[in-house]
Structure 1
Amino acid sequence: MPKGAIQPHLRVGMVHSSCPARCTCSFYGRIDGAALRTVLCNDPDTSLIPVNIPVDAIKLRVERTAVRRVPATAFYYLTELRYLWLTYNSISYVDPGSFYNLKVLHELRLDGNSISYFPWESLKEMPRLKTLDLHNNRLHNIPTDAIQHLSKLTYLDLSSNRLQTLPTELLDLWPPYNGMPVTSNTSQKIVLGMQDNPWQCVCRLSKLIETAKMTDTPVILMDRVLICVEPENLSGVLFQRVELDQCVKPTIMVSAKKITSTMGSNVLLRCDATGLPNPNLVWTTTNGALVDNTMQESPSEGVQWSIMSINGVMATDAGNYSCTAKNFAGKAIATITVEIAGIESTTIIIPTTASSGTASAGPTGPTATIITSSDQGENVRKLAADEKSQKIDASKSLRDMSIVEETSDSAVLLWTIDGMPSDSPLTVVYSPYGEEDIKDTVETTAGTGKVLLEGLVSGLRYSVCLVAKNTVGKDPCVDFYTLEIIQVEDQNGLLLIMGTAACIVVLPLIALLLYKILGLYSQSSSSPPDPEELQNDSYVTFETITMKQRAMNSNSHPTPPQMWPRRPTQSESDRLLLCSRSSIDSHETYKSDSSRSEFLC
């Protein structure tokens, strides 16, 4: 009994079979001869839930009253109650123990109230509940913990509240999100009322958005007109037309689907997932138990990886381990099987008499000795030795491995066989060098002698190995490089830039050279200059100096005539020009007739 509940022996006097005041009672019918009663309380002045309701009531309706609270164990004695309607009142508080002992209740309606918080954990007291109506209230959110109590509902109305989003786990309760196939069975239909809420259309709401787009689904929406309010770029958009950004369902892959280990060794299991937002990775065992010794990391947006370790492997560690990647858009699961070498049960038919450690195959048939890990005897060692002797050394049987016809995204692997059947299965394992956790495989047979490796990255070093079943020794491997793609467009762009620069430098030089050539050509082709024009253009006109005799005027000593240089002067301006005072020495003259000037203009 929940805290605050009234003990049954204190309420014996409160149990009545008559109809309470301000209520009306009527018979609903009979089951096994017993009358089924319905009670209706709709007096506007009623402010409390009636406490003297007949115990044989199967339907109680408290409608349009002034009731504000639903107290604990308000319906404790109504063990036959199947329908409880508390609609269009003023209820703002519902006690977690309000519905205690309602084991056969099928329908609970609380629509038209002011409930902002509903005690979802109280639903566990109503294991047969199928209908829950909470529309037209003030609910702001549905907690994740409430999901576990909603799995048996077939009708859930949350319309006309203040919900902006939903837990992603809610729609995981029903197909197709729970992994079950979608069928046309009407008994599996789920009715949801989600309209008239201020929905925030983000990735967290992606499953409800996808459900609104589906036409064949067991989840039926009362009203398919669901409209986004936020974000701003999607405000007013119907769910059927919404395309969410940064919302991608996870995809997952594992390094190997099956791992065989020896007793006492350490095993690492890895799974890689992609999705937006980044998925969360969880490891579980065969029975669904969570594995603690794990670690995960996100190297980049939309990529997540996780590693689970098993230290000191024991026989009990054998089994399946599941890696689940989950985000708001959905989830994906991958499974790895771990086997322990030497503990697999092997049945060997040995004709012998029944004795300790044997099992009889029949009254007259031979017995079968079952050799398991518990035997740990000579038979196990012999079987292991025989099995090992039948295996072929892979390093000697597969020879002459080589890579030919390398391209930027493919290569051809060649090999030859020696002592190995041509139909023996081979697995070609290749990966970027040093990245063994990212492997691709190609299945073939030994007799083919070649295989095409596709999906490679250009300019990268790869390692490829041939793995044969039932072989011993080291698997033969070879490394190679793919061709690097030359970016032709980038080279063309570089050449264009270089050519443009060369043109900018060379063209002016060519133009200058042509100009010089044309100038020389024009000078050579012109006529010789006219002497008269040349004289007019000259600064000074030079004339020929002639020799002329001049007698010295001396009365006492006559001298012979001397030759004086003289030139005719055409004009006074020319003479003055020649006798300009460009130098002090040129200005000095002698007045004496007996001596001549040192400088004569």
Structure 2
Amino acid sequence: MDTICYLLVIAWFNIQVVETYPQCLRGCSCVEDRHGRSLVCMEESAFGAIPENLPDDMTKIRIEKSHFTEIPRGAFSQTPALENLWLNFNDITVINSKGLEGLGNLTELRLQGNKLRSVPWTAFEDTPALKILDLKHNQLDVLPEHALKFLPDLTYLDLSFNRLTVISKEVFQNWPLYQKLQNTEERDGTAFQTNVVLALHDNTWVCDCRLKGFVEFIRSLSPPIILMNSYLTCSGPDFKAGKFFHEVELQVCVKPIITTPSSNINLPQGANLTLRCSAKARPDPAVWWTYGLKIIRGFHVDEDTIRSLLVIPSLHAADRGVYTCTAVNFIGNSSVSILLDVHSPDGSQSLVLSENPPPPAASDENVYIDIHIAKQTVRGITIEWYAALDHPAETWFTIHFGLAGNNKKEMIFIGPGIHSYSVSDLMPATKYEICVSLKNQAPRNGQCIVFVTGSDITEMEQREKLIHIVVIVLAMVLAVPLGMYACTTDTKFVCLEGIMESWKNRRRERSSSGMEHERQGTFDSLQAASDEGLVNKDSSEDRKVRRRSDDRQPKGKADQSRLAAELY
């Protein structure tokens, strides 16, 4: 009996121990010492996320090499006694703003060797007792002015080996501990008893005017604030790279001031020209020219000056106009304009004041642009073109699009390497013209297409066709989609008159013979005219089949078809 009682007591005691000290997580070890219980998980890829069933009596948790990427909301809210949290060498990229919720007793947080690009600094409102924050070997590139506002008792901050480039001195001036140190020294004249360690080395500091306040702050530091490595070095700009903070003199930031040697230039055709502008600013501004969508960046001259050059070889009449040089930095922007006048070689005629466009340069007169319709949709067309150029990778094009016969057309500038353009949302029964020209030149013969849209949107949508190409105005017959017809420029008027006359004759013949099936739309009428030899048609066998409609065309639709044809 005594033996049985003894065994029952032992069993009861073991149950109490298990209830008091829950088992550790798989792949982890639990240790208890005078500071409390610790959970240590060092096994490679033990967890894909922070475990949800963490023991609630832990005072220290160390999880490393598990490669989870996030600290979600309330991840440690079930461990209120936690004082030390080590999450080094994982792949953490995101910390939820409430990821540290419930950790009012936390005094140490180490996140070394993760992939943090930013930190939600307001999350530290939930950790008022935090004294040690280790963020080294991350990818932080920004430290906002309020970053340390919620860390009043912090005595160790490690931001080394990150990507910080610029920090405002207000980051530390807003730090409650720094303010407390300043007030203590002013009031008592005695040093603060606790040392405060900052590690800021091995960042990519850009030593320009934006870092002026921070450099002055670093120079002014003295105990109890101690830099772990006081030799902070510049990574940029290039002429300051490798210099220590105490070796550089930084000036106040300045808005760009831009100048040019001449704001009005008059040169003959064929001359070479280099436009110049200079910009002074701190930090260095971005500089570019604007004219005909040409952009060229400036190059560095010295610490405070950027000079930009725009080279225009062999001036043409199309190069005349206003060129603007603009400089921008985060303080502001400034610009200067240069008026270029190009006159004839003998100087007898200025081309800037001429109302009509000047004649093209001889080198551009014979430029050949092959333009054709590549695709037609229910509500638009797509054109493609090919230009025989010496430097196709550097040539800009201009699309001229609008109603046929209207001199005012929309202009769309197309960059080098692009050889197609789509037009959509076209109106029915409307005559359009689209042209492709070089740069800012006016379109020439052979660079335009004229087309008319179908007259009945509903009918065309049912047949999945809206665009009927009736006339293509070119100096040659272009390749057009299957079943379409082209009239050349030389025979355009005779061709069109023949088409219209043939169309009217066939309508009279069908009316007199009582035919029940009529052709639908302007395009079918043009095909009938083509059979009589009035327009050129591809002679291949697969294009000899005529399109015919199996449905009778209502009278109203026939009138609309006649209206579309009469646009010509």
TM-score scaled by length of structure 2: 0.38
Q: Please, what TM-score do these two structures have when normalized by structure 1? A: 0.36
Larger Rg: 1
Higher strand share: 1
